[in-house]
């Protein structure tokens, strides 16, 4: 305990899709609070992010909620301002927002779906970094963690999600090299198949039972045990945010049970 003691963290996407499992943003938020961080919880869904806040406070942690739409520049400009009003500095930024609804093959995807997925998954991350990193730069210290996906490097039957996550990795590299002289570390986590509420939505909409979906997804993971959970993402983020990773920047850390390493069938 205490790996993030007295750190100030902004977690974007700290709510989650309703479901019987915990999502990435909520797991990261709860774990960071357990490790001593004070957290600004950001999400477009105020009700959901307030649930995350309640969970943290029940465990004795400190967090507060802020509703924002990261596809809107003004919302992103306000995020660091509100955090500084509350805590006077920013040590950690976690960019967790991501969607895939409406994705399809190149010939089948609608321009509306393409734009929406790229707006949330990539443009939103650019905008939060645009306004938060300059505040880290003033103190010449900070850690930025971008939640990417193994989809960035794996074969995928859909196009927009893959392209957006490949863009996240490229953005991570560019930011890491630009701000390394200022002591700011920027890394990404390439998640694999996880048993989270968001992962099941479109499958269930097709009328497939949840346990069947789990079995299919488990079978695609090379590592014994099948899918990971949001806690796997959270512990990876905790390491990258902590001083234990003080000499690590510009990495794309696979948390995927070997999925992105598999070559061939």
Summarize pLDDT for 204-257 with one digit per residue, the tens: 666 788 888 899 999 999 999 999 999 999 999 999 999 999 999 999 999 999
- Annotation says 131 is catalytic: no
Strand partners, 254: 190
Average pLDDT value for residue range 192-201: 86
Does position 72 have pLDDT exceeding 90, yes or no?
yes
CATH number assigned to the domain covering 8-196+229-251: 3.40.50.720
Question: Rounded to whole angstroms, how far apart are CA atoms 262 and 154?
Answer: 9
Q: Among the options 87, 131, 161, 252, which is catalytic?
A: 161
Length of the chain: 265
Q: Are 220 and 156 in contact (CB under 8 A)?
A: no
| Greater model confidence, 145 or 207 | 145
User: Which strands make up the sheet holding 62-67, listed edge to edge?
Assistant: 62-67, 38-43, 8-12, 92-95, 142-149, 184-191, 252-255
Question: Rounded to whole angstroms, how far apart are CA atoms 30 and 10?
Answer: 13
Does this model's pTM top 0.75? My answer is: yes
pLDDT score for 205: 62
pLDDT tens, position by position, 90-120:
999 999 999 999 999 999 999 999 999 999 9
pLDDT score for 243: 96
Q: Degrees (nearest 5) of the Cα angle 33, 38, 41?
A: 85
Cβ–Cβ contacts within 10 Å for residue 204, how many? 12
> For the chain, what percent of residues have pLDDT higher than 90?
88
pLDDT score for 203: 67
Question: Rounded to whole angstroms, how far apart are CA atoms 99 and 54?
Answer: 25
Domain boundaries, the chain: 8-196+229-251
């Amino acid at each position: 305990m205490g790996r993030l003691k007295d750190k100030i963290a902004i977690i974007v996407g700290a709510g989650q899709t309703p479901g019987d499992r915990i999502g990435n943003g909520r797991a990261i938020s709860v774990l960071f609070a357990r490790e001593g961080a004070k957290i600004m919880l950001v999400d477009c869904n105020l009700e959901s992010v307030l649930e995350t806040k309640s969970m943290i406070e029940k465990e004795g942690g400190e967090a507060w909620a802020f509703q924002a739409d990261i596809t809107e520049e003004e919302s992103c400009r306000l995020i660091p301002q509100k955090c500084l009003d509350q805590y006077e500095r920013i040590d950690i930024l976690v960019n967790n927002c991501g969607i895939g609804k409406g994705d399809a093959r190149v010939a089948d995807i609608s321009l509306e779906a393409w734009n929406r997925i790229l707006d949330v998954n990539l443009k939103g991350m650019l905008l939060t970094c645009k306004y938060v990193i300059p505040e880290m730069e003033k103190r010449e210290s900070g850690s930025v963690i971008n939640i990417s996906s193994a989809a960035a490097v794996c074969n995928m039957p859909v196009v927009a999600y893959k392209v957006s996550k490949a863009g996240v990795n490229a953005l991570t590299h560019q930011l890491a090299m630009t701000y390394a002289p200022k002591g700011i570390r920027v890394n990404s986590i390439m998640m694999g198949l996880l048993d989270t509420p968001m992962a099941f939505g479109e499958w269930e909409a097709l009328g497939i039972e949840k346990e069947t979906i789990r079995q299919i997804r488990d079978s695609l993971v090379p590592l014994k045990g099948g899918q990971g959970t949001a806690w796997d993402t959270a512990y990876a983020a905790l390491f990258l945010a902590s001083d234990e990773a003080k000499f690590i920047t510009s990495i794309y850390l696979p948390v995927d049970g070997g999925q992105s390493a598999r070559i061939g069938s």
